[in-house]
A and B are shown apart, each in its own frame.
Chain A
């Protein structure tokens, strides 16, 4: 098993990108990553694509071939694979590439994720998002994706006393971070009060508890570390990777306020590199809803069960705090394009570990974690990155 490095990154602005089609976004971000890596297309052994919604929003499947073709890689008959796991599509695509390189099958892979959520109406993109839960037994019963997380929040509040103010603090913090991220969809700060008073989506979740459905793309170039010297003197390595699944529907879970797939994925990721929670300098967390960030931090072990919310309110996860979480702005403020999000999270950690994060730089960042999940955490993918 070989070590794997990230030698290039690319990311587009997230938001309503009316002028850009899916294939354009893929091309743009792929080129950015390749340029950053200093490689040419001839060096690429395989292409991995993370995408959730092309089939339902664009009636386009076979996205792997689409991207490979549009990016000019089919002239070399490149192996191209599309990976889907709802919002974990991006993170999972990275893991597939990582395993292929670590296992010695290929040397260099480009992993890109792109999504066009705004090509359809809000109603349709909302329905598409709910396809990450159980369509037959949750969506058809009238449950929106938000309502499932609302019940998760209700349960967490009832059992651990998590408060409205604490959930709002997650969103406010992420917006503060995004105000320093030029690629963020919403690069402006928000007060805790503004979040708490925003319109009700599904009690107790309000508008500003919920990440948007965005257009966006991100890409990374992965390379076997032993071959990376040719392109970069020092790289960021993927030192740990873990993945886990859980029941698709929320009602089949033992505890409504836990996400065990994240816990198991984190354990596996830590075990694969011998690191522990206290080794982490920063984390990118999948905050599709504020409650998800709270629970994810408890599952990873950053905080004890039931204690994350209070610590967030105290500022422990803010830039400058004990362990900064979502310096990118997270899904809430940076934007959430399902297939791209997992890769955008990795791009942020790489920038931080390279010391290129500008105003939102975490001082001395050396080891970072990325937590990406799909559905109500029916799939969880976690990577641990370290700078050389």
Chain B
């Protein structure tokens, strides 16, 4: 990934910054300036939102033939995670036996290295997820922060 292309999405990747659409009252990740569900009215109504970083596994797989840059992990787990606020992301579940990840498992965000451009290129950092063993009550809609509209 080129320098400007990575830099542009820094806070999206580091801090899980997405968007909240004031029209449909829905959350979106990554950040976007336009919500297709609300159409052009949504332009100007998308507010920056920082996700809590907790979510649940929707589906997962153990990858044996690694994607470029992921060779050092051995078989690793890729999953689609639904963040508590609603949006889904594709991510690696780290620090566990990859076969043990199952749909429904609660996960939380961690800061990890995503890769590098080359041995002399810039390093790419971002968010991955690990199994969340904290005993937390399930979030209800009431627990989501109020957004000033």
Contacts and interface: CB of A to CB of B under 8 A. Distances in A.
B56 to A, nearest CB: 13
B10 interface: no
A202 B90 contact: no
B54 interface: no
A256 B88 CA distance: 11
Contacts of A123: 68
A144 B92 contact: no
B43 interface: no
Contacts of A158: 103
B67 A130 contact: yes
Q: Which secondary structure characterizes the binding site on chain A?
A: helix
Contacts of B130: none
B64 A141 contact: no
B60 A144 contact: no
B61 A251 contact: no
Interface residues of A, number: 34
A130 to B, nearest CB: 7
Contact of B89 (A127, A141, A150, A204): A141
Given A142-B78, A151-B80, A252-B88, A201 B65 contact: yes
A148 B78 CA distance: 9
Nearest to A199: B64
B144 interface: no
B67 A251 contact: no
B9 A139 contact: no
Chain B interface, DSSP helix/strand/loop, else mixed: strand
A202 to B, nearest CB: 5
A16 B109 CA distance: 43
A143 B59 contact: no
Interface in B52-102: 58-70, 76, 78-80, 88-92, 99
B126 to A, nearest CB: 8
A142 B60 contact: no
A249 to B, nearest CB: 7
Interface of A: 123, 126-127, 130, 134, 136-144, 146-148, 150-151, 154-155, 158, 199-205, 249-252, 256
Leading 10 A-B pairs by shortest Cβ distance: A150-B61, A251-B88, A151-B59, A203-B62, A142-B92, A144-B67, A202-B63, A147-B78, A200-B64, A251-B80
